[in-house]
């Protein structure tokens, strides 16, 4: 005789892996758009946050916002559907946007590291050295160089010189795959590596100087402080916190993008043998950096 059993509650499961992919990639795009939009609105809305350094952060957030709005959604559709529905013209736009926003981000981070270095090493003279004009020039340089390089690379067709056979093999109806030859892969890597090396060197110097300042502040705090000493101590403490936050942002950027650039170099010199799935994973790890920066600001910046 069979005894009745209680009904089993089954949780809904996705019909196919596409649902999980759309959820993961879509979440990254939403975080990149909303998080960076919040950073931009917050800084631009409150006048007390209007400073040369924060304008650089706003421009960096704008680059990350554009990654989430114009690059990630289309890349998600291409990956999930294994097809490009948006035409050959927008394929070139998409690839140009991808490169432009990536290089714009790294140039911004490089200038931000220079800004933090000046703020830490010369806190009292910093307002006269890194002015609003200097900040605007840094922003313009970051955007103009990144846009000019990426669009000229893909629209002149020099990126795939010598790779005609590979391009013909990759070309298919509804496809959007861009090949870059060895010469331009090396140039791409240098545009990433040189600013990154500058950032690493400057942040090493920043933390060495910050340690020295912390010791001085501790020794001064145990004695009677003058108003100028007290002001300098407060400024140094604030700038060290800002440098730490931006240092974390730089580390996150390097960890996100370094594997991708290493893979592109290896792939170009070994005949493009990397499986598509590995390449796409590295691309999306890099894309997710655009969603990470607002979270870094939220956790480490008191005003945010």
How distant, in Å, are the alpha carbons of 18, 146, 241, 286 from that of 181? Answer: 32, 19, 42, 21
3-class SS string, the chain: CCCCCCCCCCCCCCCCHHHHHHHHHHHHHHHHHHHHHHHHHHHHHCHHHCCHHHHHHHHHHHHHHHHHHHHHHHHHHHHHHCCCCCHHHHHHHHHHHHHHHHHHHHHHHHHHHHHHHHHHHCCCCHHHHCCHHHHHHHHHHHHHHHHHHHHHHHHHCHHHCCCHHHHHHHCCCCCCCCCCCHHHHHHHHHHHHHHHHHHHHHHHHHHHHHHHHHHHHHHHHCCCCCHHHHHHHHHHHHHHHHHHHHHHHHHHHHHHHHHHHHHHHHHHHCCCCCCHHHHHHHHHHHHCHHHHHHHHHHHHCCCC
- Structure tokens of 154? 């893909």
- Structure tokens of 124? 């009292």
- Structure tokens of 241? 């916190």
Q: What is the CATH number of domain 18-300?
A: 1.20.1070.10
Residue in the structure block whose two tokens are 């300098």:
232
- Structure tokens of 214? 């912390």
Q: Structural domain boundaries of the chain?
A: 18-300
Return the pLDDT at 269: 82
Q: What is the spatial distance between Cα 303 and Cα 79, in angstroms, rounded to a whole number? A: 38
CA atoms within 13 A on the CB side of 266: 11
Return the pLDDT at 38: 92
Let me know: does 281 contact 209? Beta carbons within 8 Å.
Answer: no
Compute and round to an integer the Cα radius of gyration of the chain.
23
Let me know: does 103 contact 150? Beta carbons within 8 Å.
Answer: yes
CA angle in degrees (0–180, nearest 5) for 298-207-296: 10
Return the pLDDT at 8: 36
Please state the separation of Cα 216 from the chain's center in Å: 35
Measured N-to-C along each axis, helices 52-66 and 17-45 cross at an angle, to the nearest 10 degrees, of: 160
Q: What is the spatial distance between Cα 135 and Cα 112, in angstroms, rounded to a whole number? A: 9
Full pLDDT tens readout for the chain, 304 residues? 443 333 333 444 445 567 777 888 889 899 999 999 999 998 999 888 899 989 999 999 999 999 999 999 988 888 887 777 887 788 888 889 989 998 998 899 899 889 988 988 888 888 899 999 999 999 999 999 999 999 988 888 776 665 655 555 555 555 677 777 788 889 989 999 999 999 889 888 887 887 776 666 666 655 555 555 555 555 556 666 666 777 787 788 888 989 999 988 888 888 777 787 888 888 899 999 888 888 887 666 665 5
In sequence order, what are the residues at sequence separation of 6 or more whose Cβ sits closer than 8 angstroms to the Cβ of residue 240?
120, 210, 213, 214
For residue 16, how many other CB atoms are within 10 A of its CB? 8
């Amino acid at each position: 005789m069979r005894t009745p059993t209680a009904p089993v509650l089954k949780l809904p499961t996705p019909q196919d892996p596409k649902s999980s992919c759309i959820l993961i990639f879509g979440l990254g795009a939403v975080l990149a758009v909303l998080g960076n939009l919040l950073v931009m609105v917050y800084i631009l809305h409150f006048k007390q946050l209007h400073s040369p350094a924060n304008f650089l952060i706003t421009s960096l957030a704008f680059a990350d916002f554009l990654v989430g709005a114009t690059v990630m959604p289309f890349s998600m559709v291409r990956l999930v559907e294994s097809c490009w529905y948006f035409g050959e013209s927008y394929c070139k736009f998409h690839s140009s946007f991808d490169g432009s926003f990536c290089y714009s981000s790294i140039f911004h981070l490089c200038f931000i590291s220079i800004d933090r270095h000046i703020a830490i090493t010369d806190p009292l003279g910093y307002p006269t050295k890194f002015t609003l004009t200097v900040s605007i020039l840094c922003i313009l340089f970051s955007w103009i160089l990144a846009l000019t390089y990426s669009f000229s690379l893909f629209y002149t067709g020099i990126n795939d010189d010598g790779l005609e056979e590979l391009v013909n093999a990759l070309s298919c109806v509804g496809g959007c795959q861009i090949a870059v030859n060895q010469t331009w892969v090396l140039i791409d890597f240098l545009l990433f590596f040189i600013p990154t090396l500058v950032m690493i060197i400057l942040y090493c110097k920043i933390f060495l100087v910050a340690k020295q300042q912390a010791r001085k502040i501790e020794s001064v705090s145990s004695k009677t402080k003058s108003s100028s000493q007290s002001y300098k101590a407060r400024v140094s403490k604030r700038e060290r916190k800002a440098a730490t936050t931006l240092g974390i942002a730089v580390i996150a950027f390097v960890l996100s993008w370094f594997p991708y650039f290493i893979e592109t170099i290896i792939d170009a010199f070994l005949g493009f043998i990397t499986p598509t799935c590995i390449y796409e994973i590295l691309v999306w790890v890099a894309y997710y950096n655009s969603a990470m920066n607002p979270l870094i600001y939220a956790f480490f910046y008191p005003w945010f």
